[in-house]
Structure 1
Amino acid sequence: MLLVGCDFSSSPSRRKPIVLALGALQGGSVVLQDLQPLDTLAAFGRWLAAPRAWVGGFDLPFGLPRELLTGLGWPLEWASSIAHYRGLTRAQVRETFAAFCAARPAGAKLAHRATDRPAGSSPSMKWVNPPVAYMLHAGVPLLLEAGVHLPGLHAGDPRRVALEAYPGLLARELIGRRSYKSDARARQTADRHAARTELLGRLECGDTRLGLRLTVDAAQRTALLDDGSGDRLDAVLCLLQAAWAWRCRQQGDLRYGLPPDMDPLEGWIVTA
């Protein structure tokens, strides 16, 4: 089975592409086979739609908070909520979410999904730093258009399975809250390189609760360490989460490790 980890961008470019980490599970090892950049959303959509079997972990939210949808009077069924959301422009998303936050008390401006706190992830309605609301807006419609299967949310092609992943969850398990990446070249420091080195080394040793170790060759190791943005390493972290989910499926879990009580409106981050 082809396994995929995706570091997603809602506005990809040649300088800041979507990065796919492709690999396979061999025993307790996840073997990295390729790192593939995609510099347009159209290229990403074509990759998703191609007729091949895979299980992937995608670093973008798959649903909005139930509290937000209820407060806005939007549909409380997943497919309908996504259809409504994709019909908005990014400017409308920003204005609507800003107005929602403005009406709430300090300290509780943003609505959260149930998965956010155990995963340590940003609320999926956040439109800046990081703009995950735009990532959902750009990415989930492409998953639907490609006809992929989203366990617990949407029945699609069972040969192409997409799960919500979050690299920060696995990274924090290994190096705490040390920063290992920055998009700003001036902030791509020796300390961040050292953090990437430790993080990658611990992945190779299998020092995670996932019970999996990463296998890379020398050229791949250099590419992962030299990428100061961390995009390639984030894609590999998502690849490990996808491998864990695939192993759950091999053991008979039709939900790929997602909790049985997952909110079918909000979704869930795999391994959280």
Structure 2
Amino acid sequence: MTLIGCDFSSSPTKRKPVVVAVGHAKAGRVQLQSLLRFDTLASFADWLKQPQTWVGGFDLPFGLPRELVETLNWPRDWLPCMQHYAALSRAEIRDTFKAFCDARPVGGKFAHRATDTPAGSSPSMKWVNPPVAFMLHAGLPLLIEAGVTLPRLHVPVVPDAAAAASSVAESPQSLRVALEAYPGLLARELIGNTSYKSDDKAKQTPERLIARKQLLQALEIGQTRLGLRLKLTHAQHDTLVDDASGDSLDAVLCMVQAAWAQAQHEAGHAQYGLPACDPLEGWIVTA
């Protein structure tokens, strides 16, 4: 089974592309095969639609907090809610979410999903530092449009029964499965709160370089509760260390989380290790 990990950008450029790590796992070892880079959302969308089979971890939110959705009186079902959200402009999202926050007390401005606490992730309605609300807005519609399966949230509708029967007959494993991943969750497990990346050239320090090396070493020796070891060539190791933005390393961390999910699936967990959760909010894999 092909595994992918995606470090997503809501406004990709040549300098800050969407980075996808591609690999596979066998007997607890996760092998990185390649790193793909997409400097436009259109090129990334085209790649997602290709007839291929993979399980992937994507570093972007797959849902909004129920408290927010209910306060705004948006649709309570996941797909209609996401379609409503996708139809808004970024300015409308920012203004709506700012008004929501302005009406709430200091210390409780943002609404959170249940998964944010165990994952240590930013609220998915946050529009700055990091702008995860815009990542959700830009990225999730691409997954839905590509016909990707999102466990616990969304199974794409096959156009007709005959097509469904023929596709299953051709390959019962012909699936693209996307899971919400969060590289910070795995990174914190391995090196605590030590910073290992920055997009700001002035902050791309020797200390952060050392942290990336420590993080990779911990992944390679399997120093994680996921029970997996990362396997890299020397050239791949150097590429991940040298990318001071951390985007390549984050894509690999997401791929390792996807490997854990695939192992859960192979062990008989139909939902790829995701616990029962709010079907509007979703859940971050391994949290």
User: TM-score interval w.r.t. the shorter chain?
Assistant: over 0.9
Instruction: Note the alpha carbon deviations across 1:223-249, whole angstroms, 9 max, x for none.
Output: 000000000000000000000000001
The partner residue of 2:282 within 263, 267, 270 is: 267
In structure 2, what is the equivalent of residue 22 of structure 1? 22
In structure 2, what is the equivalent of residue 235 of structure 1? 251
How far off its partner does 1:183 sit? 0.1
SS state at 1:79 partner:
helix
Percent identity, aligned pairs only? 65
SS state at 1:147 partner:
coil
**Equivalences for residues 78-93 of structure 1 within 5 A:** 78-93=78-93
In structure 1, what is the equivalent of residue 31 of structure 2? 31
In structure 1, what is the equivalent of residue 95 of structure 2? 95
Instruction: Give the counterpart letter for 1:164 in structure 2.
Output: E
The partner residue of 1:172 within 167, 175, 188 is: 188
Distance (Å, rounded) in 2 between the aligned partners of 1:177 and 1:127: 23
In structure 1, what is the equivalent of residue 130 of structure 2? 130
The partner residue of 1:202 within 195, 218, 242 is: 218
In structure 1, what is the equivalent of residue 153 of structure 2? 153
Instruction: Give the counterpart letter for 2:116 in structure 1.
Output: D
SS state at 2:277 partner:
coil
Instruction: Give the counterpart letter for 2:91 in structure 1.
Output: A
Distance (Å, rounded) in 1 between the aligned partners of 2:3 and 2:118: 24
Instruction: Give the counterpart letter for 2:48 in structure 1.
Output: L
Q: Which is greater in Rg?
A: 2
- Does residue 193 (structure 1) correspond to residue 193 (structure 2)? The answer is no
In structure 1, what is the equivalent of residue 144 of structure 2? 144
- Does residue 221 (structure 1) correspond to residue 237 (structure 2)? The answer is yes
How far off its partner does 1:26 sit? 1.3
Number of residues of Structure 1 aligned to a counterpart in Structure 2: 271
Instruction: Note the alpha carbon deviations across 1:12-45, whole angstroms, 9 max, x for none.
Output: 0100000000000011100000011111101111
How far off its partner does 1:257 sit? 0.3
**TM-score using structure 1 length:** 0.99
SS state at 1:3 partner:
strand
Distance (Å, rounded) in 2 between the aligned partners of 1:83 and 1:250: 32
Distance (Å, rounded) in 1 between the aligned partners of 2:222 and 2:23: 16
Instruction: Give the counterpart letter for 2:21 in structure 1.
Output: A
How far off its partner does 1:119 sit? 0.1
- Does residue 211 (structure 1) correspond to residue 227 (structure 2)? The answer is yes
How far off its partner does 1:123 sit? 0.2
SS state at 1:148 partner:
coil
Instruction: Note the alpha carbon deviations across 1:159-182, whole angstroms, 9 max, x for none.
Output: 100000000000000000000000
CA RMSD across the alignment: 0.7
In structure 2, what is the equivalent of residue 162 of structure 1? 178
Distance (Å, rounded) in 2 between the aligned partners of 1:79 and 1:159: 20
- Does residue 248 (structure 1) correspond to residue 264 (structure 2)? The answer is yes
Provide runs of 4+ in structure 1 moved above 6 Å: none
How far off its partner does 1:84 sit? 0.6
How far off its partner does 1:201 sit? 0.3
- Identify unmatched segments of 5+ residues in structure 2: 159-173
Distance (Å, rounded) in 2 between the aligned partners of 1:177 and 1:94: 29
Distance (Å, rounded) in 2 between the aligned partners of 1:52 and 1:35: 17
SS state at 1:55 partner:
strand
Instruction: Give the counterpart letter for 1:51 in structure 2.
Output: P
Distance (Å, rounded) in 2 between the aligned partners of 1:135 and 1:232: 17
SS state at 1:162 partner:
strand
Instruction: Give the counterpart letter for 1:145 in structure 2.
Output: E
How far off its partner does 1:186 sit? 1.1
Instruction: Give the counterpart letter for 1:135 in structure 2.
Output: M
Instruction: Give the counterpart letter for 1:199 in structure 2.
Output: L
In structure 2, what is the equivalent of residue 50 of structure 1? 50
